[in-house]
Amino acid sequence: MTDSEMTPRLFAADAEIVRIGEGLLDHSLPKEHWTHEAHLAACLWLLHARPDIWPERDLPDIIRSFNAAKGGINDDSQGYHETLTQLYIQGVRAFMADLAPGMVLTTAVNALLESEIGRRDWPLTLYQRETLFSVTARREWVEPDLV
């Protein structure tokens, strides 16, 4: 099964999404719950509910800190990835701009997960694999090379 064929795990309630976002911030989220879906849910929740956090600036250190708190390593081959993080922030922002005002959080997150932007392989529609998974892309923002 390819990444684009994988069915995302959808959320049943807003409280699940809030727990993920708060668990990321306070490091209480179990490491095994930090999934692709959780990354996107946390990003949308931060943009929606935490105006004190500017994801483009703050999310890199939030993710690095969470990874370290869970025993992870942020280096040139694992852990935090700058280009993927910034790309998904841009994608989630663009997705949210098209949402109906007042949409329920769970509905919004599930719609994101079922959208093109929510796919695990979405970045590979914009980047060559070798570019996206380079040390440079992990360390700093790299512009898409397939658009």
Residue 1 pLDDT > 50: no
Give the integer Cα–Cα distance in Å for 108 and 7.
Answer: 17
Find the distance separating the first CA and the last CA of the chain, reported in whole Å.
26
Regarding pTM above 0.85, the answer is yes
User: Which pLDDT does position 102 carry in this prediction?
Assistant: 87
Residue 95 pLDDT > 70: yes
Q: Are 92 and 44 in contact (CB under 8 A)?
A: yes
Closest C-alpha to 74, from 64, 83, 84, 66: 64
